[in-house]
Amino acid sequence: MTLDFTKDYVLENDRVKLIPLTADHVDLLWEISREKNLWTYFLGKSDGSGDFKKYILEAIADRDKKSGYPFAVYDKMKKCYAGCTRFFDYQENLNIIRLGYTWYGKDFRGTGVNKNCKYLMFQFAFDQIGLERVGLGAHSENKVSIAAMKSVGCTKEGQIRNLFPSIHGKGRSDAVLLGILKQEWLENKKKNLKSRL
């Protein structure tokens, strides 16, 4: 099976619902987008300004170009939207994909939303689509994000030196690369992550 960018995939469990991103989500996510610290490690910053609509529309356009598949994340417990995440860099010939551009409002961090989202996305990628690998990455200074990726079963695989401008405005920073493989997922990481939801 391949990832069909024309199909509206909805990924859902008892805690969260991942819904294909649409222009309607601009208003639904607007308040969260105004949290300035959300955009610290993003190259395409929104900072709660008019750029947020542009950010959402560009993510939707990436789906049209088959270069990304973005989701709005709905927290079923709190009955409101929590943030966004997406698949991107799908390489059908290699049977791999990347997962990223993930952000949640401060009220949703550390609540289990991220673990549930990652579980659903890994399950979709490995069990439904049959991909061999899901890659993730983060700015090396983003320790919280790196720890979150490791906590859902990702393995650190390396670093790309000087990929990003430093968030402090001087010098450069590395990117940390992480990933999870289908074999690992099927052998134990699926069971381990599910037990922590």
Q: Which pLDDT score is estimated for 10?
A: 98
Q: Would 2 be classed as within a structural domain?
A: no
Domain that holds residue 111: 11-194
Note the pLDDT tens digit of each residue in 42-100.
766 555 566 899 999 999 999 999 999 999 999 999 999 999 999 999 999 999 999 99
Instruction: Answer with the residue of higher pLDDT: 189 or 173.
Output: 189
Note the pLDDT tens digit of each residue in 100-112.
999 999 999 999 9
Q: Are 85 and 73 in contact (CB under 8 A)?
A: yes
CATH number, residue 23: 3.40.630.30
Q: What does pTM read for this prediction? A: 0.95
Q: Would 127 be classed as within a structural domain?
A: yes
3-class state of residue 90 by DSSP:
strand
Domain count, the chain: 1
Q: Which whole number is the average pLDDT over 5-24?
A: 98
Q: Would 6 be classed as within a structural domain?
A: no
Distance (Å, whole) CA 53 – CA 191: 38
Note the pLDDT tens digit of each residue in 143-184.
999 999 999 999 999 999 999 888 877 889 999 999 999 999
CA-based nearest residue to 125, from 136, 116, 117, 133: 133
CA-based nearest residue to 194, from 111, 112, 89: 112
